[in-house]
Amino acid sequence: MNGIFRRSVVAGATILACGLALAAQEALKRSITFEDMIKMHRIAEPQISPDGKWIVYTVATPDMEANRNASDIWLVPTSGGAPSQLTQSGHDSSPVWSPDGKTIAFLSSRSGESQVYLLSLAGGEAQRLTKSSTGADLVKWSPDGKTIAFTSSVYPDCKDDDCNSRRDAGKEKNKVKAHVAEHLLYRRWMHWNDGKRAHLFVVPADGSAAPRDLTPGADYDVPPDERGGPGDINFSPDSKELCFTAVTDKMEAISTNGDLFTVPVAGGEIKRITTQPGFDGEPFTTARRARSQISPKASTAAPTNSPGPPTAKRFISLPKTKRKSPSTPWPRALARSQRKSSPILTTPQFRLALTEKPWPSNAPA
């Protein structure tokens, strides 16, 4: 009788222990909460070094007290291994390798406005390259490593940084803080259009000269606000020219068009090189021998009046698929050609490989 009682007690204790263990496991299982998500580190903007041995990237750590993400730049070998933290200001982003892989250009707002900084991998502190009162954005190295392109939002009628600085100071001192809208678009998602435009600048990488505005007086953004990015600005292989996307239509608010333009790095005339309806973006240079990698049937699609071998000033554009207007039908001829290959458009100086959204499969032939 005592044996039966002891066995009953042991069995009961075992069942109770199992029940408690299961309850503990269930307690650990729960849905993810906002607090869980906000504690996660964000890894972004990976860039592989020219020699393929390293990856530079940013890590953003949520700072609930400051209501912002503290972003720093890290480095890790592509072969694997422990990552290294390169910056610690909490205000660094957009790292870009120099062509020789010895320096990293990046944006930092550690001193207030976002500026371009250079960090040598040989050691030492990051050096500030730009000191524009209007800040800097979208950094690009030239292929020869001598020039850095960036964008900055300025007042189109201002001819120098002092003018922009005075205009901003006047607005800050003005007790009237109302936004006056005289035309569309007056707001873009999280920011007001306050009369400034993003202009394209270049500056020597060694800091030997002040930044130069390559689009002075332009009443359009480079690249288009909220529709463009770093890929919409690119250097020619000889580093003497820049190609960029801009929307110059009179009624920008109802336009989905965007064209490619070129401008000498030394400054000078801005030339439009595309005019077809639709958004042309992300220009990049190519050689004839590499064209088949982009469009397998490019040679058969090219016009018979194509010029000779491409020079250092040829750009290929991969347009973003947007119509000229919601009511404009897409050309059937273009749709039919898309089923075979991407069409090639040729100008005297530039060869453009253009892609469009395929015509629906149920569309009439």
3-class SS shares of the chain: helix, strand, coil, % to 5: 20, 30, 50
Closest CA to 354 of 315, 300, 324, 313: 315
Q: Which tens digit of pLDDT belongs to each residue from 13-49?
A: 455 455 556 555 555 778 888 888 888 899 999 999 9
Between 34 and 327, the more confident residue is: 34
Q: How many CB atoms lie within 10 A of CB 297?
A: 12
User: So what's the pLDDT on residue 132?
Assistant: 94
Residue in this structure with the two tokens 């972003």, named with its chain if needed:
71
The runs of H, that is alpha helices, within 44-182 are 161-173
Write down the pLDDT at residue 324.
Answer: 39
Q: What is the mean pLDDT of residues 191-214?
A: 93
**Counting beta carbons within 10 angstroms of the beta carbon of residue 243, is it exposed (0 to 12), middle (13 to 18) or buried (19 or more)?**
buried
Query: What integer pLDDT is reported at residue 150 of this predicted model?
Result: 98
Q: Is 37 helix (H, G, I), strand (E, B) or coil?
A: helix
In one-letter notation, the amino acid at residue 271 is K
The residue-averaged pLDDT of 335-345 equals 33
Q: Which domains does the chain have, with CATH numbers?
A: 36-280 (2.120.10.30)
d(CA 175, CA 309): 61
**pLDDT tens-digit series, residues 138-161:** 999 999 999 999 999 999 999 999
